[in-house]
Amino acid sequence: MPAPSERGPTTKPEETDMAMQLQDDSSQDAPAYWVKSVEKTFAVLLAFTSDEPRLTITKVAAKADLSRAAARRFLLTLTDLGYLRSDGNTFELTPRSLDIGASFLANLTLPQSAEPHLKQLAVDLNETASLCILDGNDALYISRVLAPRMLSVTVNVGTRFPAWATSMGRILIAGLPALQQEDFYQRIELTRYTQHTVTSIGQLRDEVKRAGERGWSLVSGELDDGLRGLAVPVRRGTDLIAALNVSLQTHRGSEAEIADTVLPRLQEAAGRIADDFGGRRA
């Protein structure tokens, strides 16, 4: 029988602690193949956010639901692998952590990210849902899902409308930096499409400012008497990347009723699109 010194390193208390925790946490409801340590590894990585980019071992343990000893081992292992770095007291992600999703993001487009959420929104509201970006003076449709009740297509991906006369356009204009917004006002020409159309730059400025301040825009009958749209911004961090819009039937009711019933669903969908395209929200 070999002497104790020849048996290799003995198990440390913290190693025993971690092993017991991983066994105890083997998730009674998880499938047989489930590897709890993989789940915990990602819990540690996802503990780091834009609000808290640098974390202590204790903070990671709390956020990842680990003991302090187990959190330390995960953190040190990820540091050795190059996904984290440490100054001795705190840890933070390194650029190598981007490798995890790089191949997926390389082939991902905003319309692809948005499509399942537009489909769900169209079904939930029984309204057509669209995603638009600002292209010059126009709101450009880059993804669109028809309401289940609709039998024909009147607006397609690639369709353009004057941004200033639409709900999604006003959200996008409101998101422009001040100088770009001013340049936009200087170069457009207003056209009276209906009796409800905004007819002065001053009035348009007020509408855009209002949309920016409250975070949504409702435009009724300004481009066409039969068109009514509600739009919210889709943001990745502080960047405005698109506007999410639903076309509304007239029976949806007053602006207050729409704000209570439709707006929350639209905002939730915009958040999910942003999450899928650009990562978790802070």
pLDDT tens by residue, 157-205: 777 888 888 999 999 999 999 999 999 998 998 888 888 888 899 989 9
Q: Where are the domains of the chain?
A: 14-102, 108-278
DSSP 8-class letter at 12: P
Going edge to edge, which strands form the sheet with 54-55? 54-55, 91-93, 84-86
Closest to 39 measured CA to CA, from 54, 56, 21, 53: 21
In whole angstroms, what is the distance from residue 62 CA to residue 64 CA?
6
What integer is the mean pLDDT of 109-127? Answer: 86
- CB-based burial of residue 144 (10 Å sphere; 0-12 exposed, 13-18 middle, 19+ buried)? buried
Question: Is the model's pLDDT at 251 over the cut of 80?
Answer: no
Closest to 145 measured CA to CA, from 256, 70, 246: 246
DSSP 8-class letter at 4: G
Percent of the chain with pLDDT over 70: 81
CATH number for domain 14-102, candidates 3.40.50.720, 1.10.10.10, 1.10.3720.10, 3.20.20.80: 1.10.10.10
Tell me which fold the domain 108-278 belongs to: Beta-Lactamase (3.30.450)
**Residue 201, Cβ neighbours under 10 Å: how many?**
14
Q: Which residue has the higher pLDDT, 126 or 90?
A: 90
pLDDT for 156: 67
- Reported confidence tier of residue 2, pLDDT bands at 50, 70, 90: very low
Residues facing residue 160 across a β-bridge:
140
DSSP 8-class letter at 67: -
pTM: 0.61
Per-residue pLDDT tens digits for 17-68: 544 444 444 455 778 899 999 999 999 999 998 789 999 999 999 999 999 9
Indicate the residue type of 130. S
